[in-house]
Amino acid sequence: MFDQYCYYWDYNEFYKMIKQIGYFVEIVKGSLITARHFWVNLSLHILNLFHIKTKRKGAVTIQYPEVRQPLAYRHRSMHRLMKHTDGKPRCVACMLCATACPSECIYVEAAEDPDLEIQKYPSKFIIDLTRCCFCGFCVEACPEDAIRMDTDEIELARYDKEELVFDLDKLLG
Ligand code: SF4
Ligand code: SF4
């Protein structure tokens, strides 16, 4: 008889309900943000259409990869090693780039060059791009301007990690 009037509070159900309300609130918040961006951008585009100057222009969608934005002048893309006019690498295997690299992704092995002007050249030069953070320290550290990051190559996704380990031949292009 007493059980009939006794109220059992189910905590699990209660937490589930709170969670569901939380999800719903987040969905509404997200939708409101999207709607705000949509209307603000649409308004900016309409104003610009009528040559009314606004502080900022409306956002546009770039149809990447069919359409590409030009890269900034000081961008850092994939590395390359520079060559002398005779085709020899400009690198003198001083290891400064490898020392400066915070990710320890450069490996240089030096060999002696019979040319006294050059003295040393890299018999091995490997950059493991899977570890590279594109900080550009290697370029800054190089006293010979032998390494640059101006290839415009920024699409570095590969199916195989090994393909992102670049050796001397690949870096010299
Ligand atoms: S860009 Fe930075 S992390 Fe990448 S190889 Fe150069 S120094 Fe190392
Ligand atoms: S790339 Fe430049 S810093 Fe690196 S080993 Fe060659 S000469 Fe030295």
Segments of 61-142 assigned E as strands: 80-81, 106-112, 120-128
Angstrom distance (rounded) from CA 93 to CA 125: 9
Task: State in Å: Cα 164 to ligand 2 middle.
Answer: 20
CATH number 3.30.70.3270 is the correct assignment for the domain at 80-172: yes
Residue 8 has a pLDDT of: 62
Strand pairing category for 80-81 and 120-128: unpaired
Domain boundaries, the chain: 11-60, 80-172
Cα–Cα–Cα angle for 107, 79, 130, nearest 5°? 60
CA distance linking residue 75 with residue 72, whole number of Å: 5
Task: State the pLDDT at residue 4.
Answer: 55
- Is the shortest distance between the CB of 95 and ligand 2 below 6 Å? yes
Cα–Cα distance for residue pair 82/147, rounded to 1 Å: 6
Atom from ligand 2 closest to the CA of residue 100: 3
The per-residue pLDDT for 155 is: 93
pLDDT score, position 6: 53
Give the model's pLDDT for residue 115. 82
pLDDT in tens, the chain (173 residues): 445 555 566 778 888 888 889 899 999 999 999 999 999 999 999 999 999 988 888 898 899 999 998 999 999 999 999 999 988 899 999 999 999 999 999 999 999 988 888 889 999 999 999 999 999 999 999 999 999 999 999 999 999 999 999 999 999 98
**Both structure tokens of 104:** 């320890």
pLDDT at position 14 is 84
Q: Is 171 close to ligand 1, i.e. is its CB under 6 Å away?
A: no
Q: Atom 6, ligand 2: which residue's CA is nearest?
A: 91
Most informative mutation of 80, 81, 92, 123 for ligand 2 (most atoms within 8 A of CB)? 92
